[in-house]
């Protein structure tokens, strides 16, 4: 009952049909984030693409200026010195064939997966498990690399992976409700800039069709697209 009242009050503070300037939207979202935990502030972008076509897929990585406030578990497929490097950099799970066996058994103890090139033969056999979860290492995203230390440090430091879903929509967290408004604003604009720069050559017409902002338990707000880069 208390939850319903809280949500109804939050919805009442949102002006239906209004497109809020980004700074104002962030302020409203923060005020409505009244759950008993530190809610994540999420941004959704509706893109004018059809990701079923390879030349219209949008995917990338961005290191947000102020991080995400989220603890990211990093798994690394590596052997020998590179495995030791990964552990020293703070990786949570490191291994080779042994780690692959654990993943096949359903034990996936990581939110981001990194691999050295020599182990992609092992990782490739896990495609049906890692792929649908968005965990498959990718050279273009810097997650298939010999710079294991750099990749782990970036993942732990607030790096966000964005990827368009079937409907052409990208969802990504830009921080916690406890962040001050200036930090959330910088993070939001950094993400928007990265998505805009990732515009595929096959995209025609309006690329950024709509943007919304919300917290984990709060209502969504439409955001004025022109305010993303102001």
Question: Does 61 share its domain with 165?
Answer: yes
Question: Does 50 share its domain with 113?
Answer: no
pTM across the whole model: 0.78
Question: Does 166 share its domain with 141?
Answer: no
The CATH number for 173's domain is: 3.30.190.20
Asked, for residue 166, whether it belongs to a domain, the answer is yes
* DSSP codes of every residue in 18-39: -EE-HHHHHHHHHHH--SSS-P
Q: Which 3 state secondary structure label does DSSP give 14?
A: coil
Q: Which 3 state secondary structure label does DSSP give 97?
A: helix
Within 57-158, strands assigned E span 59-63, 74-77, 93-95, 112-115
The CATH number for 151's domain is: 3.40.50.790
Which tens digit of pLDDT belongs to each residue from 123-175? 999 999 999 998 999 998 899 999 999 999 999 988 888 989 888 999 999 99
Length of the chain: 230
Q: What is the pLDDT along the chain (230 residues), one digit of tens a residue?
A: 545 555 555 555 677 789 999 999 999 999 999 899 999 999 999 999 988 888 898 988 898 999 999 889 999 999 999 999 999 999 999 999 999 999 999 999 999 999 999 999 999 999 999 999 989 999 988 999 999 999 999 999 888 889 898 889 999 999 999 999 999 999 999 999 999 999 998 888 899 999 999 999 999 999 999 999 86
Q: Residue 192 is part of which domain span?
A: 20-68+159-224
Asked, for residue 193, whether it belongs to a domain, the answer is yes
Contact assessment for residue 110 and residue 116, using Cβ atoms and an 8 Å cutoff: no
Between the two ends of the chain, the Cα-to-Cα distance in Å is 40
Question: Does 59 share its domain with 116?
Answer: no
Asked, for residue 93, whether it belongs to a domain, the answer is yes
Q: Which two tokens stand for residue 46?
A: 């509706």
Tally of structural domains, the chain = 2
């Amino acid at each position: 009952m208390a939850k319903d009242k809280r949500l109804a009050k939050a919805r009442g503070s949102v002006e239906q049909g209004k497109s809020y300037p980004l700074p104002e939207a962030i302020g409203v979202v923060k005020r409505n984030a009244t759950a008993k935990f530190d809610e994540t502030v999420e941004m959704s972008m509706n893109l004018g693409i059809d990701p079923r076509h390879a030349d219209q897929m949008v995917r990338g990585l961005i290191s947000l200026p102020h991080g995400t406030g989220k603890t990211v578990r990093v798994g690394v497929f590596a052997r020998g010195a590179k495995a030791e490097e990964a552990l020293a950099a703070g990786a949570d799970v490191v291994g080779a064939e042994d780690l692959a066996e654990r993943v096949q058994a359903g034990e996936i103890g990581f939110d981001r997966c990194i691999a050295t090139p020599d182990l992609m033969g092992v990782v490739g056999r896990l495609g049906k498990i890692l792929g649908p979860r968005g965990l498959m290492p990718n050279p273009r995203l810097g997650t298939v690399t010999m710079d294991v230390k750099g990749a782990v440090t970036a993942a732990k430091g607030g790096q966000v992976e964005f990827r368009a879903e079937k409907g052409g929509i990208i969802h990504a967290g830009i921080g916690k409700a406890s962040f001050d408004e200036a930090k959330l604003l910088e993070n939001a604009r950094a993400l928007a800039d990265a998505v805009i720069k990732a515009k595929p050559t096959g995209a025609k017409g309006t690329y950024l069709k709509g943007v919304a902002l919300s917290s984990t338990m709060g209502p969504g707000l439409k955001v004025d697209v022109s305010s993303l880069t102001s």
